[in-house]
Amino acid sequence: MHPAFSVILFTTASGAGYGLLLWFALCSLAAPDWIDRPLALTTLLFGLALVSAGLGSSTLHLGRPERAWRALSQWRTSWLSREGVAAIAAYVPAGLLALAWIVWPRPGGVAILPALLMIPAALATTYCTAMIYASLKTVRQWRNRFTVPNYYALGLFTGALLFAAILRLFGRETVAVDIAVLVVGAATLALKLAYWRSIEGRGASTAESATGLGGFGTVRLFEAPHTEENYLMREMGFSIARKHAAKLRRLCLAALFGAPLLLTLIALLAGGWIAGFAAVLAVISAGAGVLVERWLFFAEATHVVTLFYGARAA
Amino acid sequence: MNRATAEKHGLVDGDFVWVTSHHSRIKVPVRTMEGVNPNTVWTWNAIGKRKGAWNLPKDAPEGEQGFLLNHTISELLPPEKDGYRYSNSDPVTGQAAWYDLRVRIEKAAETEQACDPSFPPLERPPGMPDRPDVLRFEAGGRKQPWDRRPDPRAGRRAAS
Amino acid sequence: MTCLPAPFPGQKKLGLVIDLDTCVGCHACAVNCKEWNASGHSGPLSDFEAKSDGVWFNRVHTYEAGEGEASRTVHFPRSCLHCEEPACVTVCPTGASYKRAEDGIVLVNADTCIGCKLCSWACPYGAREFDEDDGVMKKCTLCVDKIYNENLPEEDRQPACVATCPASARHFGDLGDPNSKVSKLVAERGGYDLMPEMGYKPVNKYLPPRPKKTGASCGSKASEEFSLIDLAERRAAKDEIAVKTGAEPTLAKADGKGAAFLRWADRVLSR
């Protein structure tokens, strides 16, 4: 599948943003005295900026972005519509949290309900985003039991890395958060590896099942319907060679997991300004890594329409 | 050409071959298939165009990758005993005789992987307008985005 | 609305039946469809530069199946199958993609489509294409603007691709009616679904190529099986012997009127 940058940015930014907002909400419920106004507003600002940038980026993928508001109407059947509704709904608890921290230096009880609502809002929106892909029968690499867990894990992991970095910039002690980063990071790594293992092999649909001509023998495309590319081939025919994918997977493992986890460990052990530096570096590395991860999520996906264009199985 | 015949010549899809007749020769890419007589080679007619013909862009694939069998076919049959050369056409309809040409196939060298012969591009005839970048035959009436965006490709290369 | 219409007994399921045995791969259906839809609700179907790489609702592939002489070269038109359970409809976030309850035709409303392309991701058959010029998704309309058009004479109220096919390889009708011409054709010839494992329940059916006639049924002795290539080689061998011995070649000799002309023609053709 063609990796559109606008969609890659959308899913990674909104995943990280909702992850960050979710960690903040958890933190403000578990340890409310730990947070002060500058920290809260910075975190909420980053979170809201990321989810807004994501939503904005997603409209760049549309042929008619001026009609994007229509996408909220079909939540009964469409995961894309549900994601739009959930994203807009998630602005409510996030906005209320921000408002509470703007109005009061320590909102206390006022912030409890918005924080409580923030958690399911973030989880629901991330779920809907993941289901846009996981619900498609035509792309077997997406219709996979690891797709939704991967979206959750990556959102929580990148969000946690961001939270740890912000905390350090405000001079807070972050042992609990660092441990959370390491644990979530390890789980995310395990899920990612499991996902890559699960997409090996060939699909169940073949050129024979697509054309129904298998009774005569092996089906080969003799002549494509057009000598030049068309939309279908540009959008669904994009594929990456195995050896290039392998290189990018290694890059992803290093940038998204290797470096950030190592840097988090260093931060945990070193403390002081080294920790702050390491935490920011971890965020930058993970940011690059998650873009590669999402690019591969698209590039390694095969669509069954390619069976009509010469693919043997998909 | 037939896949089994191609294998005998050590050819796979995309290899270039010299197709030589009594008259001339051309160099063309090969595509293998099952459903053809092992002793027959064929191609689609008139897909190849001279560069610049038909008001196509200079780099159009019809001119860069397309080819014509015409060059291997003589318009005149070999001379009779008295030197007269009949037209190489069907005696009843007068149509050009295409299907009875015998050719020899030879694999082209590695360095020769391009169509041959190739001719300088045709210039656009004077007075012929430039080709439009977007072919649009519209009904009119509906409010259309291209009134604001004349070249969708230029706009879209920026966003994706 | 992207909820699928609730099924009911006797429901009309308009669709096409494509005969892979008679299709000659001329692409007339693709071209006529493009022309008909260049104007009207889906139009224009813009193409770019000289490449004709814009939206086409119908595209004709050619496949080879099998090996050697038993192989088949099959021309294969591909367009929207107007499925009974089209995911392209349910994934649409705006409701622009919908399935008509009255006849099952799946359409895109070009005025409300936002061009998110998700429907084309959901379609296994590549029925939907994104029009870069218009910014919306477009697809086969089953000529809904032609089949009900009372300005046209009755015999013209069929899809453009069906009307134009010179091999009569395309048929249009109600596949929900077991007594319709198309349903009977499907039953007779064993019409099948494409990619049935996807579960979209396509309404359009494809008729498989008929088995090839073997040498036995071509008029030779039943016990004698040979290929056309053998025949050509044997005839060539006979001619060689004829040339060597000075006998007449195997081409039929005509006597009387026209014989001289035929002999001349034979000479010219034998070069």
Q: List the chains bordering chain C where 3 or more Cβ pairs fall under 8 Å.
A: A, B
Distance CA A70, CA C55 (A): 24
Contacts of B152 in chain C (CB under 8 A): 46, 48, 132-133
Which of helix, strand or coil describes residue C162? Answer: helix
The residues, ordered by sequence, that sit 6+ positions from A73 with a Cβ below 8 Å of its Cβ are A81, C93, C94, C95
Q: Is B71 helix (H, G, I), strand (E, B) or coil?
A: helix
Q: Which amino acid is at C114?
A: I
Contacts of B160 in chain A (CB under 8 A): 4-6, 60-61
ipTM for the whole complex:
0.94
Rounded to the nearest angstrom, the minimum Cα separation between C199 and chain B is 32
Dihedral pair phi/psi, residue A240, rounded to 5°: -115, 140
Q: What is the CATH number of domain B1-120?
A: 2.40.40
- Six-digit token string for A279: 């935490």
For residues C110 and C263, give the distance between their C-alpha atoms in angstroms, rounded to a whole number: 66
Partners of residue A212 in chain C, C-beta under 8 Å: 192-194, 206, 208
Structure confidence at residue B149 (pLDDT)? 56
Side chain identity at residue B118, one-letter code: S
Mean pLDDT over residues A156-162, rounded? 97
Query: What's the full length of chain C, in residues?
Result: 271
B13-38 residue pLDDT tens: 999 999 999 889 999 999 999 999 99
A66 touches chain B (CB under 8 A): no
Chain C residue numbers with beta carbons less than 8 Å from the beta carbon of A230 are 53, 56, 59, 129
Tokens of C122: 């959901």
Alpha carbons C89 and C80: distance in angstroms, whole number:
13
Q: Which residue has the tokens 């007449």?
A: C248
Per-residue pLDDT for A101 more than 50?
A: yes
Cα separation, A273 vs A312, in Å, equals 56
List CB contacts of A83: < 8 A, sequence separation 6 or more: A125, A128, A129, A131, A132
Interface of C with B in 54-93 (CB under 8 A): 54, 64, 66-68, 71-73
Residues of A in contact with B32 (CB under 8 A): none
Q: Where are the domains of chain C?
A: 14-207, 215-269
SS (H, E, C) chain A: CCCCHHHHHHHHHHHHHHHHHHHHHHHHHHCHHHCCHHHHHHHHHHHHHHHHHHHHHHHCCCCCHHHHHHHHCCCCCCHHHHHHHHHHHHHHHHHHHHHHHHHCCCCHHHHHHHHHHHHHHHHHHHHHHHHHHHCCCCCCCCCCCCHHHHHHHHHHHHHHHHHHHHHHHCCCCCHHHHHHHHHHHHHHHHHHHHHHHHCCCCCCCEHHHHHCCHHHCCEEEEECCCCCCCHHHHHHCCCCCHHHHHHHHHHHHHHHHHHHHHHHHHHHHHCHHHHHHHHHHHHHHHHHHHHHHHHHHHHCCCCHHHHHHCCCEC
In what order do the strands lie in the sheet containing C205-207? Answer: C170-174, C14-19, C205-207
Average pLDDT for A220-244: 92
Output DSSP code: residue B89. B
Comparing CB atoms, the residue among A6, A227, A228 nearest residue B159 is A6
How distant, in Å, are the alpha carbons of A89, A128, C27, C75, C185 from that of C32?
Answer: 48, 41, 9, 17, 24
Average pLDDT of chain B, as a whole number:
83
Q: Kindly tell me if the per-residue pLDDT of A192 is higher than 70.
A: yes
Q: What is the average per-residue pLDDT within C193-222?
A: 82
How many angstroms separate the CA atoms of A14 and A33, rounded?
28
Type of residue found at C179: N
What is the C-alpha separation between A159 and A149, in angstroms, rounded? 15
pLDDT band at A121 (very low <50, low <70, confident <90, very high): very high
The H or E element that residue C37 is part of is helix C28-38
pLDDT at residue number C269? 65
What whole-number distance in Å separates Cα of residue C23 and Cα of residue C61? 11
C271: confidence class by pLDDT, cuts 50, 70, 90: low
Give residue B44's pLDDT: 85
* Beta-carbon pairs below 8 A across chains A and C: 206
Is the peptide bond prior to C9 cis by the omega test (within 30 degrees of 0)? no
* Nearest residue on chain C to A298, alpha-carbon basis: C121
A2-60 per-position pLDDT tens digit: 999 999 999 999 999 999 999 999 999 998 888 999 999 999 999 999 999 999 999 99
Question: Coil, strand or helix: which one is B31?
Answer: coil
For C61, the 3-state DSSP assignment is: strand
In chain B, what are the domain boundaries? 1-120
Instruction: Flag if A63 and C197 touch (Cβ within 8 Å).
Output: no
Model pLDDT for residues A296-305, shown as the tens digit of each residue = 999 999 999 9
Q: Residue B159: its chain A contacts at CB < 8 A?
A: 6, 60
Q: Which two tokens stand for residue A214?
A: 């298998």
Would you identify the CATH topology of the domain C14-207? Answer: Alpha-Beta Plaits (3.30.70)
Average confidence score pLDDT of chain A: 95
Residue C7 pLDDT class (50, 70, 90 cuts): confident
Residue A154 CA to residue A297 CA, distance in Å, equals 13
Inter-chain contact C133–B146, Cβ cutoff 8 Å?
yes
Q: For residue A255, what are its two tokens?
A: 């940038």
Q: How many CB atoms lie within 10 A of CB B149?
A: 13
Nearest to C39 by CA among C129, C127, C130, C143: C143
Q: Do B139 and C71 touch (CB under 8 A)?
A: no
Cβ-in-10-Å burial (0-12, 13-18, 19+) of C8 comes to: exposed
pTM: 0.87
Q: Under an 8 A CB cutoff, do B159 and A60 touch?
A: yes
Query: What would the pLDDT profile of C108-152 be if each residue is shown by its tens digit?
Result: 999 999 999 999 999 999 999 999 988 999 999 999 999 999 999
Q: Among A7, A58, A218, A227, which would you mutate to test the B interface (most chain B Cβ atoms within 10 Å of its Cβ)?
A: A227
Query: What is the reported pLDDT for A264?
Result: 95
Cis preceding linkage at C124, omega within 30? no
pLDDT value at residue C38: 86
The pLDDT of residue C83: 97
Task: State whether residue A78 sits within 8 Å of chain C by CB.
Answer: yes
Q: Which residues of C touch B92 (CB under 8 A)?
A: 265
Beta strands C14-19; C205-207: pairing state: parallel
Give the bridge partners for C190, in sequence order. none
